[in-house]
């Protein structure tokens, strides 16, 4: 139960549009990050449905070859840069200052700037659809296909894409600076680094990755822009440039980017599992070291995306890629043994956490296949990789995001979500997700390459593609109970109170939603579970992990 005795809690946000547009309050900014990200999730989802609809049957039924290439390029671009990365930044924005007992982020105005750069970038990307075509060279945008040559990326779409990504990257970098300064400088007294919630730790490591890696892709994008528009010779072999240089600079960012996309989701799962198991996280310190190890190792594996180029030193990158499986496995065991001998409460956040664990495991295992270079020679650029990336990004990040959304919605809005609708969404989404992506393992092994708009009817891939398409529409269907749930809950959900889940961390020690200044007073902080300790004074706080 709540331990605070605040004067009437702040009522739900009835402040006007002007207030929301000009706010520097991390909670409102966090909510707007989440809303913006969901909008682009739906845009990216529609593009995915276009792709899957075209691939359901052999033959080109709906899209032109160029339209298909635009669809999967923009699908991935929206999902990575305007959905997963900012969604996790948004949750971090909302939750981190609360969890460390701070009144806001270190630089509230820069926080607002980071937010508003995103819808602007989204509009730039979308405008390609209206100005003769978007980028169509894949989200990886390899040169020379992304250069300004015949049958390559002529037209403004690719340039709009470059500018939009530079904007998004700047937003991320500013956000990372903000998170790091907030976490290092604004923790409440008593909260040492090793008493911080895991969510805060994962945001810390993620911010280091964003800070160090994102500027490198900015440089790659700028170099590509110079090639395309000013006759540059970076990547164009016709004038002495090197396409492999692009891949190296690109992947130096884009590999750490995948850890940016998963670590905060892992942080959210690490908050949810202890609460819904009624036990602390198993191996708190080991978990932190594993997270740091993943962050560090993540900078050393980028060329495993380039095994088939004939231009990388294969054994080094293969070894580092295999090694990164170890801290990931440590975390998996930490999570499982958090639940072991616990008392699991099957609310929607836990269901999605279970979805995360079971599906991310598959994504981790099928990734290990690709770490073996000879096996990767067979699997690279086939649907196997599409299966892998979706098992970690959808099975991992999206299920994690859903878990976090159901977990923190009561804190953000003061209303509980409907459990039945949540369970319905989970079941449909889980089944649809597996139906879409599991067959892709077989498709990739059988030889279906990625990024093809059509396939031969005699290749033997018809049935699996149809099954995958049906699964994709099931995923889309699962959004209906989700949206209905949000609408219903906002209108007439049960009042949540301060602490509906018997949470462990400080955000549950204030009203739902919190007042502008977050806290009136704080409980003692003597472990990573200050609220649990306050609720169970007879159990000694454990902080010497």
Partner 1 sequence: MSSSSSARRSRPGLIWVATLIVAFVVVGALYVSGAGVRIVESLYPPPAVTDQGADTRELYNVVFLIAAVIFLLVEGLLVWTIIAYRRKPTDTELPPQTHGNSVAEIIWTVIPTLIVAFLFVISWQTLNKVDTVTATAETKIRAVAGQFQWEFDYMPPTYDPLAKEPVAPLYVEYAPTGAEGGLHIPTGRTIQLYLTSPDVIHAFYVPQFLFKRDVVPGRINAFAFNVQADQAGQTFRGQCAELCGIGHKDMLFDVHAMEGAAFDAWLADKVAQASATPAPPPSGGPAPSGGPAPSGGAAGPGTELAETAQNIAFTTTELTAPANSPITIKFDNQDAGTPHNIKIFKDSIGGQVVFDGKIFPGVATETYDVGPLAAGTYPFECFVHQNMTGTLTVQ
Partner 2 sequence: MTTDSTALIPVADTTPEGDHRYGGLDHDVSGGISAPVLGMLLFITSEVMFFSGLFAAYFNVRANVAIWPPIKPDTIPPEQYHVDMLPFVLPATIVLIISSFTCQWAIWSIRRGDHTRFVRAIAVTAVLGAVFLVTQCIDYWMLGQEQVTLSSGTFGTTYFTLTGFHMAHVFGGVVMLSVVLYRGMLGQFTAKHHDAAEAASLYWHFVDVVWIFLFSLLYLFPGKTV
CA distances from 141 to 136, 164, 185, 397 (A): 8, 14, 39, 23
Residue 237 DSSP one-character state: G
What is the number of other CB atoms lying within 10 angstroms of the CB of residue 189? 9
What binding mask, one character per residue, do residues 440-479 give for partner 2 by CB under 8 A, x or -? ----------------------------------------
Q: Which is nearer to partner 1, 22 or 544 (CB)?
A: 544
Least distance from C-beta 445 to partner 1, angstroms?
A: 5
Q: Which is nearer to partner 1, 39 or 446 (CB)?
A: 446
- Which one of the spans 60-68, 244-252, 432-440, 466-474 is the region binding partner 2 (CB under 8 A)? 244-252
Identify residues 248-307 at the interface with partner 2 (CB under 8 A).
Answer: 248-249, 252
Contact between 328 and 238 (Cβ < 8 Å): no
Contact between 371 and 384 (Cβ < 8 Å): no
What is the number of other CB atoms lying within 10 angstroms of the CB of residue 404? 29
Under rule CB under 8 A, residue 283 binds partner 1: yes
In the block, tokens 């139906």 appear at: 435
Least distance from C-beta 207 to partner 1, angstroms?
A: 26
Under rule CB under 8 A, residue 226 binds partner 2: yes
Q: Which is nearer to partner 1, 491 or 544 (CB)?
A: 544
Interior CA angle at 463 toward 457 and 466, to 5°? 100
Residue 373 binding partner per list partner 1, partner 2, none, with a CB distance cut-off of 5 to 8 Å that depends on partner kind: partner 1
Residues 6+ apart with CB under 8 A from 127: 160
Contact between 180 and 204 (Cβ < 8 Å): yes
Under rule CB under 8 A, residue 323 binds partner 1: yes
- Residues 334 and 482: their CA atoms lie apart, in Å, by 30
Residues 6+ apart with CB under 8 A from 523: 3, 506, 509, 530, 531, 533, 534
Taking the alpha carbons of 4, 6, 10, 11 in that order, is the dihedral positive or negative? positive
Under rule CB under 8 A, residue 33 binds partner 2: no
Under rule CB under 8 A, residue 322 binds partner 1: yes
Q: Which is nearer to partner 2, 222 or 453 (CB)?
A: 222
- At 137, give phi and psi (nearest 5°): -105, 25
Under rule CB under 8 A, residue 381 binds partner 2: no
Under rule CB under 8 A, residue 222 binds partner 2: yes
- Residues 300 and 295: their CA atoms lie apart, in Å, by 10
Per-residue tokens: 411: 């804190």
In the block, tokens 């033997």 appear at: 460
Identify residues 54-73 at the interface with partner 1 (CB under 8 A).
Answer: 64-66, 69
Identify residues 180-209 at the interface with partner 2 (CB under 8 A).
Answer: 180-182, 184-192
What is the number of other CB atoms lying within 10 angstroms of the CB of residue 373? 17
Residue 9 binding partner per list partner 1, partner 2, none, with a CB distance cut-off of 5 to 8 Å that depends on partner kind: none
* Chosen residue from 84, 88, 106, 351 binding partner 2 by CB under 8 A: 106
What binding mask, one character per residue, do residues 473-512 give for partner 1 by CB under 8 A, x or -? ----------------------------------------
Under rule CB under 8 A, residue 219 binds partner 1: no
Instruction: Quickly list DSSP for 473-525.
Output: HHHHHHHHHHHHHHHHHHHHPPB--S-TT--SSGGGGS-SSPPTTS-S-----
Least distance from C-beta 461 to partner 2, angstroms?
A: 39
Under rule CB under 8 A, residue 178 binds partner 2: yes
Residue 491 binding partner per list partner 1, partner 2, none, with a CB distance cut-off of 5 to 8 Å that depends on partner kind: none
**Residue count (the chain):** 545
Under rule CB under 8 A, residue 219 binds partner 2: yes
* Chosen residue from 245, 296, 470, 479 binding partner 2 by CB under 8 A: 245
Q: What residue ranges bind partner 2 (CB under 8 A)?
A: 102-103, 106-107, 173, 176-178, 180-182, 184-192, 211-220, 222-223, 226-227, 230-234, 239-242, 245, 248-249, 252, 519-525
């Amino acid at each position: 139960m709540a331990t605070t005795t605040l004067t009437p809690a702040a009522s739900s946000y009835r402040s006007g549009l002007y207030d929301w547009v000009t706010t520097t309050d991390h909670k409102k900014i966090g909510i707007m990050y989440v809303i913006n990200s969901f909008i682009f999730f739906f845009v990216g989802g529609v593009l995915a449905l276009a792709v899957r609809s075209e691939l359901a049957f052999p033959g080109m039924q709906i899209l032109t070859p160029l339209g298909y290439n635009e669809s999967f390029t923009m699908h991935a671009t929206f999902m990575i840069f305007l959905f997963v990365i900012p969604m996790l930044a948004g949750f971090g924005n909302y939750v981190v200052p609360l969890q460390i007992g701070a009144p806001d982020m270190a630089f509230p105005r820069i926080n607002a700037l980071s937010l508003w750069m995103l819808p602007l970038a989204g509009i730039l990307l979308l405008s390609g659809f209206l100005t003769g075509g978007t980028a169509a060279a894949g989200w990886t945008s390899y040169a020379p296909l992304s250069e300004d040559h015949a049958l390559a990326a002529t037209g403004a779409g690719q340039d709009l894409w470059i500018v939009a990504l530079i904007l998004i990257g700047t937003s991320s970098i500013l956000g990372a600076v903000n998170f790091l300064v907030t976490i290092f400088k604004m923790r409440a007294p008593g909260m040492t680094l090793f008493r911080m919630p895991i969510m805060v730790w994962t945001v810390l490591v993620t911010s280091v990755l964003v800070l160090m890696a994102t500027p490198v892709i900015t440089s790659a994008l700028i170099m590509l822009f110079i090639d395309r528009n000013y006759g540059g010779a970076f990547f164009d072999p016709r004038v002495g440039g090197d396409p492999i240089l692009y891949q190296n600079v690109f992947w130096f960012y884009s590999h750490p980017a995948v850890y940016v996309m998963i670590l905060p989701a892992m942080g959210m799962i690490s908050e949810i599992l202890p609460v819904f198991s009624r036990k602390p996280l198993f191996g708190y310190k080991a978990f932190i070291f594993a997270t740091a190890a993943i962050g560090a190792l993540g900078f050393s594996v980028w060329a495993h995306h380039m095994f088939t180029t004939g231009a990388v030193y294969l054994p080094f990158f293969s070894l580092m890629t295999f090694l990164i499986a170890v801290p990931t496995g440590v975390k998996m065991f930490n999570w499982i043994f958090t639940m072991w001998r616990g008392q699991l409460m099957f609310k929607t956040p836990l269901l999605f956490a279970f979805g995360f664990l079971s599906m991310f495991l598959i994504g981790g295992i099928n990734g290990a296949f690709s770490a073996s270079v000879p096996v990767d020679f067979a699997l690279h650029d086939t649907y196997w990789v599409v299966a892998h990336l979706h098992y970690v990004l959808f099975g991992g990040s999206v299920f994690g995001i859903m878990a976090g959304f159901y977990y923190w919605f009561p804190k953000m809005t003061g209303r509980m979500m409907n459990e039945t609708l949540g369970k319905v969404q989970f079941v449909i989404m889980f089944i649809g997700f597996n139906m879409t992506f599991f067959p892709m393992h077989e498709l990739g092994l059988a030889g279906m390459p990625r990024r093809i708009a059509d396939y031969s009817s005699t290749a033997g891939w018809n049935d699996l593609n149809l099954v995958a398409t049906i699964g994709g529409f099931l995923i889309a269907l699962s959004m209906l109970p989700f949206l209905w749930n949000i609408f219903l809950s906002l209108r007439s959900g049960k009042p949540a109170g301060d602490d509906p889940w018997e949470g462990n961390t400080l955000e549950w020690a204030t009203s739902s939603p919190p007042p502008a200044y977050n806290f009136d007073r704080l409980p003692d902080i003597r472990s990573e579970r200050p609220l649990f300790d306050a609720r169970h004074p007879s159990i000694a706080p454990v902080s010497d992990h």
